[in-house]
Amino acid sequence: MRRAFIFLIFLSFLGFTKEIDPESKLVIDRGLNEVKENCIVCHTGRFITINGGDRKFWNTKIKVMQKAFGLWELDKKTKDLILDYLSKNYYKGWNKKKTKNKERSLKLKLNLQ
C-alpha cells in the first residue's frame, strides 16, 4: 500500500496526473475558462467526459449545439481555445469508422454539410 502511494506521488511529479477543477470536474489546462463560460453554462462537465473525440468531432458538437440548442456564435480565438482544450484533454481514440459514420449521419440530420 505504501509503495503504491509513493508511486502515485512519483507519477504526479512526472506530469502523468492532471489536476482537476473542483467546480466543473474537468482537467485544469489552457482553455478551461472558455469551456466553462460557453459549454458548462448549459450542462455539466460530465457531458464532456463521457464523450470524446478529435478536433473534428468537437467542432461538429459545437455546430450541433449552435444549430439545435441555441449556442451563440463563438469568435475564432474562443472557438480555437475550446477545440484545443477538448481535443487535447478529452480525446478517446474512438474507432475512426464508427465516429466518421456517426458524424456524417449527424451532419445530414442537422443539414450541416
Q: How many residues does the chain have?
A: 113
pTM, two decimal places: 0.69
pLDDT of residue 47: 87
State the cell numbers at 50: 463521457
pLDDT band at 71 (very low <50, low <70, confident <90, very high): very high
Longest dimension (CA), the chain: 56
Read off the pLDDT of residues 93-112 as tens digits, 9 standing for 90 and up.
Answer: 643 444 555 666 666 666 66
What is residue 92's predicted lDDT score, i.e. its pLDDT?
74
Domain ranges (residues) in the chain: 19-110
Q: Are 62 and 82 in contact (CB under 8 A)?
A: yes
The pLDDT tens digits for 25-34 are 999 999 999 9
